[in-house]
Amino acid sequence: MADQKQSALAGHLRENGMLLALVAIVVLFSILVAAQGKPMFLQAPNITNIFLQNGHVIILALGMLLIIVAGHIDLSVGSVAAFTGAVAAYLTVDLELPISVVIPLTLIVGGLIGAAQGYWVAYWRIPSFIVTLAGMLVFRGATLWLLGGQNIGPFPKAFQAMSSGFIPDLTGLDKPHGLTLIVTAIAIAVVIWIGLRARARDAEFGITPEPTGLFWGRTVIIAAAMAFVGWQLASFRGLPNVLIVLAVLTILYAFFTENTVQGRRIYAVGGNEKAAKLSGIRTERLIFFCFVNMGMLAALAGMMVTARLNSATPKAGTGFELDAIAAVFIGGAAMAGGSGTIVGVVIGALIMGVMNMGMSILGVGIDYQQMIKGLVLLAAVIFDVYNKNK
């Protein structure tokens, strides 16, 4: 009995390993930054910049998770983001279309690109590595062609607000930002309620819940972190528009993957596609959907990056696919597919963002930054393989 409890506790600790790693990385950089006599690491501008500069990584990682869970990969997302960002720039600057038209048109373009690639992968069984590698080259070239090798910009304020705007304070408090404090309090209450509801559901189905101490310890850490971040944002400029978009997408994709039939079937496809097909699941359609979804999210990420830079550039999107894939694997997704969580992906992307911010503040060169991030990714994959073998 004692061995069973120790095994269960170890399993739950592994599930929360990335959250603990994120906390440890934040504490480490806070100490290192303070040791150099620099301003506090987690001050309001830095927290805001983490979301503004890494929002596109989280968006791409949400779509990449579904691709990887289904047992595939998409190497083209960086080039697709650059191309759709250029499309949005052309529609906005050259054709002078309103943002209410530009956003849906660009999302449709991204969806069509995803459909074109998903068709060959799902219905012709061409390896996704080859299809998306070709897509990476095609749409990088298409970006250069559309932009003519030059930048397009600047953009209207409405378009820039997609990435650099903030939610206005409707409470009239101004400082601190009252609406931010209200949203933070509601978010904390929702997180606690979801955790308690999950424990009750596990008990109802006879599933052994995680130890009470571990549950409340994790919940307190999350609530305290949310309260701290909320207060810092409220004391600065409030909630960035990017953060609202990320929160909505995270909730929607978490609900889709955990509480819908189609979401669970994607995991079944990645776990064993032949068995899933024999059980009546239309595997081709699900794989096709994953690539269409990835294309639309790449278009959204491309627009956000273009809006933040206030310019569409031929070199935009370089390395985005690597950041998204790294966030998925660091967040705990399995290399072979069939497992991974939305929350884990968000934590993985935040780990990447915090590391980028911390190393930049400490003055670490870009060469060392790349090596360190590569080692972190390798460690995450080794951790996954170790757990699987164990």
Q: Look up the pTM and report it.
A: 0.91
> Other CB atoms closer than 10 Å to residue 160's CB: what's the count?
18
Q: Note whether 137 and 334 are within 8 A (CB).
A: no
The reported pLDDT for the residue numbered 6 is 52
Farthest CA pair distance, the chain: 70
The reported pLDDT for the residue numbered 329 is 87
* 9: pLDDT strictly greater than 50: no
The reported pLDDT for the residue numbered 288 is 97
Q: Note whether 117 and 135 are within 8 A (CB).
A: yes
Q: Averaged over 86-112, what is the pLDDT?
A: 94
* 166: pLDDT strictly greater than 80: yes
Q: How far apart are CA 325 and CA 220, in angstroms?
A: 30
Q: How far apart are CA 248 and CA 106, in angstroms?
A: 20
The reported pLDDT for the residue numbered 390 is 63
Task: Please report which confidence band the pLDDT of residue 164 belongs to, taking 50, 70 and 90 as the band edges.
Answer: confident
Highest mean pLDDT among 4-13, 148-157, 287-296: 287-296
For residue 239, give the DSSP letter.
-
Task: Please report which confidence band the pLDDT of residue 21 belongs to, taking 50, 70 and 90 as the band edges.
Answer: confident
Q: Note whether 52 and 240 are within 8 A (CB).
A: yes
The reported pLDDT for the residue numbered 1 is 44
Task: Please report which confidence band the pLDDT of residue 73 belongs to, taking 50, 70 and 90 as the band edges.
Answer: very high
- Tokens 């069939």 map to which residue? 338
Note the helical H segments in 280-365: 283-309, 320-330, 342-361
The reported pLDDT for the residue numbered 174 is 67
Q: Supply 285's token pair.
A: 């359609």
Closest by CA to 357, choosing from 25, 34, 24, 59, is 25
The reported pLDDT for the residue numbered 113 is 97
* 237: pLDDT strictly greater than 80: yes
In the chain, the domains with their CATH numbers are: 21-32+39-165+240-389 (1.10.3470), 166-238 (no CATH)
The reported pLDDT for the residue numbered 221 is 86
The reported pLDDT for the residue numbered 384 is 67
The reported pLDDT for the residue numbered 40 is 80
Q: Evaluate the omega torsion of the peptide bond into residue 176 and state whether it is cis, within 30 degrees of 0.
A: yes
Closest by CA to 295, choosing from 64, 53, 101, is 64
| CA distance to 48, 315, 377, per residue, from 338 (Å) | 34, 34, 19
% pLDDT > 90, the chain: 38
Measured in Å, how far apart are the chain's first and last C-alpha atoms?
Answer: 19
The reported pLDDT for the residue numbered 167 is 86
Window from 60-64, 71-75, 286-290, 336-340 with minimum mean pLDDT = 336-340
Task: Please report which confidence band the pLDDT of residue 86 belongs to, taking 50, 70 and 90 as the band edges.
Answer: very high
% pLDDT > 70, the chain: 94
Q: List Cβ neighbours of 230 (8 Å cut-off, separation of 6 or more).
A: 180, 181, 183, 184, 185, 187
Task: Please report which confidence band the pLDDT of residue 201 belongs to, taking 50, 70 and 90 as the band edges.
Answer: confident
Note the helical H segments in 124-240: 128-147, 157-164, 178-204, 212-234
H or E element that contains 64: helix 44-69
The reported pLDDT for the residue numbered 150 is 87
* 4: pLDDT strictly greater than 80: no
